[in-house]
Chains A and B, each alone.
Chain A
Amino acid sequence: MIEISGLAKRFTVENPKKLSEQEKKDPRLQGRYFQSVRDVSFTCEKGQVLGLLGPNGAGKTTSLRILSTALTPDAGTVKIAGENVLENPLIARKKIGFLSSSTGLYGRLSGRENIAYFGQLHGIDDNIIDARISEMADLLDMHSFLDRRAENFSSGMKQKISIARAVIHEPELVILDEPTTGLDIMATSTVMEFIQRLKDKGTPVIFSTHHLDEVQTLCDRVVVINLGETVFDDTVSAFSDLSGGRMHESFLKTLEGSKEVENNVVNL
């Protein structure tokens, strides 16, 4: 089980004068500091897929970066099977697979080399890496471009390699930050199928998205974050029931009272 409790994280604003009018009105801005995450808490059971929703700038990416140990929180705890990952991030990183929102690859390496490099960073034997790459090439349909240099890959190709890279070490928890953003229908479908496979294997998946149809199709739980705080944490059916099955309206309802919602686009 993954337990996230009372996460908080603030950043120093380098130049407050350069902020937009909307940013200046954000209640999380306090002088030279921006309280990106104020109080984020949720849980995810083994085998569950958790959809993380929220308007742009709500604190989803910061929360996921804390979960992945890329950032250290100012307050709060993250526990995987009862162990606080923040106390020993190096061990925690072996248990976590993280796909950031930018599908960055090393352009002068081939797709295979990109994946293998991260397998080696996790200390996996080369033979095992080769076997896992072959397996994932089948699952994600990557054979045609696996040995080509990544510099000319399409967004879909990059995302497939990125996903394979994130799970090469067979993590206990997979975190995906907007994995389908910018992808075409075919690539989106492949990513969705891959998440479903992880779910079938019993691997918990936490992924942020703006696509409510993905949440409805894949997720067991929904967490909505707004202005750096958890404003909803329950099952998909409970979320859907908020507005009689209309996911979009349910989402808006969770943000009720927040003016920022008017400025954010949610894709249905």
Chain B
Amino acid sequence: MWLIFKKEFKELIRDRKTIMFMVVLPVLLFPLIIGVTVFFTSSAIKKAESEVLQYAIVGDAFAPQIAQAFVDDTEHFERVDIGDNTDYASLIKSETLDFVLVIPEGFGGDILASGQQKLSLYLNDAGLNKVMSRVSDITDKFASEYQATAFGTLGLNTEQQAALIEPLVIEKENIADDREVWGERIGGLLPYFIFFLCLQGAMAPAADLGAGEKERGTLETLLISPMERYKLVLGKFLTICAAGLITALITVTSMATWGIVISQGMAIEFVAEIMALVGILDFVLIFFMLIPIVAIFASALLTLSIYARSFKEAQSYMGAMVMVIIFPVLIAMMPGVELKGGWVWVPLTNVALAMKELFKGTMDYFALFGIFTSTAAIAALLITFCVYWFNKEKVLFR
């Protein structure tokens, strides 16, 4: 069995495609994707906030102070004159204007006399433009002034003013600490990435070790070697497991390392907060929980691969398997699903839930028994089936 493993592993590390999925993807691509996304998003937000907006005001005579405030803010706004009865929508769609503010006839600052005042803002709100918030920054000042004047007229003290603005206040006393909050937010998403990377790391070698043997015509020669079939299967299974585990180890290490680098080197506050809260032991536990998961993946992938006639056929079966794997992980992301009761015994879902609990710092360590037992049992069943499968002539000589 170790002879098979040694040979298969030697071949594995000579395969660029496998190394790509096992090492390069988790080490570089994973943080690169996140980094690039964060960079472009923050650049887009900065651009949207600092861009000079082209605007038009209709009915400026009814609220000259508001119109003047926009004119005065030359750093952020540039007025464009438009004629009467102009189609605002077409001007905005053609990007001649970013927005049109329409002040209605009879607009006045005395809100006790006029009631609530309404301004119409025409804009294209599909993109990241920040138009609404930037217009509000100016109009809110006037709204506050009108409000203060009205309160003065009514002769209300500060407490009465506050009560009128917000008659009922709920004061939230959140007993969740920061770790729980962040754990809930990112802990559900994390297993999705980790499972997917482990699966990717195991897929290429699995396709090669089963269907690949058939396709290149080496299976027959291997079958007539004086080695028991179960040893052949276990040797291959261990190789796929090793590939998946190396991917898992690299992923978790990469995640921890990049977390530290980003939080300390780049001083990103929220990553620093998470890294301060999640301990090394949590990362070690995550890795250990991935061992039976990878065993499940390896035996299922090898079973499919042995059945397939070709590498291509194996990959199509494995593509379908990804969908099956995603489902229990998605369940773990659903609200109300927690690591309690029956969920402790549901393979994949329980590990996904446990990862979330570890990140939240609310892990019930007794649940580990159920998690390891159920996932190991499924893995053992699958590998037993795989050995049985590898003894079937109709599977081997399809």
Chain A positions near chain B (C-beta within 8 angstroms) = 11-12, 14, 65, 68-72, 90-91, 93-94, 96, 98, 100, 102-109, 113, 117-118, 120-123, 162, 165-166
Q: How large is the interface on B (under 10, 10 to 19, 20 to 34, 35 or more residues)?
A: 20 to 34
**B224 contacts A70, CB within 8 Å?**
yes
Q: How far is the CA of A162 from the CA of B217 in the complex (A)?
A: 11
Q: How far is the CA of A68 from the CA of B3 in the complex (A)?
A: 22
Chain B positions near chain A (C-beta within 8 angstroms) = 3, 7, 10-11, 14-15, 216-228, 393-394, 397-398
**B217 contacts A100, CB within 8 Å?**
yes
**B11 contacts A118, CB within 8 Å?**
no
Nearest B-chain residue to A149, judged by Cβ: B14
Q: How far is the CA of A12 from the CA of B219 in the complex (A)?
A: 20
Question: Can you identify 5 A-B contacts, CB atoms within 8 angstroms?
Answer: A71-B397, A102-B217, A104-B220, A109-B11, A122-B225
List of A residues within 8 angstroms of B11 by Cβ: 106, 108-109
List of B residues within 8 angstroms of A122 by Cβ: 225-226
Q: How far is the CA of A94 from the CA of B227 in the complex (A)?
A: 10
Given the interface pairs A12-B394, A108-B14, A121-B3, the reply to whether A68 lies near B218 with Cβ below 8 Å is: no
Partner of B228, one of A90, A109, A113, A123: A90
**A120 contacts B3, CB within 8 Å?**
yes
**B226 contacts A90, CB within 8 Å?**
yes
**B226 contacts A123, CB within 8 Å?**
yes
**A104 contacts B217, CB within 8 Å?**
yes
List of A residues within 8 angstroms of B397 by Cβ: 11, 65, 71
**A104 contacts B218, CB within 8 Å?**
yes
Q: How far is the CA of A11 from the CA of B397 in the complex (A)?
A: 10
**A100 contacts B228, CB within 8 Å?**
no
Nearest B-chain residue to A98, judged by Cβ: B224
**A165 contacts B3, CB within 8 Å?**
no
List of A residues within 8 angstroms of B222 by Cβ: 121
Q: How far is the CA of A70 from the CA of B217 in the complex (A)?
A: 13
**A109 contacts B10, CB within 8 Å?**
yes
A61 to chain B, nearest CB (A): 10
Nearest B-chain residue to A91, judged by Cβ: B226
B226 to chain A, nearest CB (A): 4
Q: How far is the CA of A90 from the CA of B232 in the complex (A)?
A: 13
List of B residues within 8 angstroms of A91 by Cβ: 226
Given the interface pairs A71-B397, A72-B393, the reply to whether A105 lies near B218 with Cβ below 8 Å is: yes
List of B residues within 8 angstroms of A102 by Cβ: 216-217, 220
A170 to chain B, nearest CB (A): 13
List of A residues within 8 angstroms of B217 by Cβ: 100, 102-104
Partner of B225, one of A100, A108, A121: A121
List of A residues within 8 angstroms of B225 by Cβ: 93, 118, 121-122
Excluding A68-B224, A96-B224, A108-B14, 8 further A-B contacts by CB distance (< 8 Å) are A11-B397, A106-B11, A106-B216, A106-B218, A108-B10, A118-B221, A121-B225, A121-B226
Q: How far is the CA of A121 from the CA of B10 in the complex (A)?
A: 16
A192 to chain B, nearest CB (A): 22
Partner of B221, one of A11, A12, A94, A165: A165
**B15 contacts A100, CB within 8 Å?**
no
Nearest B-chain residue to A62, judged by Cβ: B397
Given the interface pairs A71-B397, A108-B15, the reply to whether A117 lies near B216 with Cβ below 8 Å is: no
Q: How far is the CA of A69 from the CA of B224 in the complex (A)?
A: 6
Given the interface pairs A90-B228, A93-B224, the reply to whether A14 lies near B218 with Cβ below 8 Å is: no
Nearest A-chain residue to B215, judged by Cβ: A104
List of B residues within 8 angstroms of A96 by Cβ: 224
A124 to chain B, nearest CB (A): 11
Nearest A-chain residue to B14, judged by Cβ: A108
B225 to chain A, nearest CB (A): 4
**A14 contacts B226, CB within 8 Å?**
no
Given the interface pairs A70-B224, A106-B218, the reply to whether A117 lies near B398 with Cβ below 8 Å is: no
Nearest A-chain residue to B227, judged by Cβ: A121
Nearest B-chain residue to A93, judged by Cβ: B226
**B224 contacts A14, CB within 8 Å?**
no
**A107 contacts B216, CB within 8 Å?**
yes
Nearest A-chain residue to B213, judged by Cβ: A104
B126 to chain A, nearest CB (A): 51
Q: How far is the CA of A14 from the CA of B397 in the complex (A)?
A: 12
The 6 closest A-B CB pairs, nearest first, are: A104-B217, A102-B217, A121-B225, A104-B218, A108-B14, A104-B216
A38 to chain B, nearest CB (A): 18
List of A residues within 8 angstroms of B227 by Cβ: 121
**B221 contacts A100, CB within 8 Å?**
yes
Q: How far is the CA of A173 from the CA of B74 in the complex (A)?
A: 95
A35 to chain B, nearest CB (A): 15
Nearest B-chain residue to A120, judged by Cβ: B3
From A70, A94, A113, A122, residue with most partner B Cβ within 10 Å:
A70
List of A residues within 8 angstroms of B393 by Cβ: 71-72
**B216 contacts A70, CB within 8 Å?**
no
**B228 contacts A70, CB within 8 Å?**
no
Given the interface pairs A11-B394, A106-B11, A120-B3, the reply to whether A70 lies near B220 with Cβ below 8 Å is: yes
List of B residues within 8 angstroms of A98 by Cβ: 220-221, 224
Nearest B-chain residue to A118, judged by Cβ: B225
**A105 contacts B228, CB within 8 Å?**
no
**B220 contacts A100, CB within 8 Å?**
yes
List of B residues within 8 angstroms of A68 by Cβ: 224
List of B residues within 8 angstroms of A107 by Cβ: 216
A88 to chain B, nearest CB (A): 10
List of B residues within 8 angstroms of A109 by Cβ: 7, 10-11
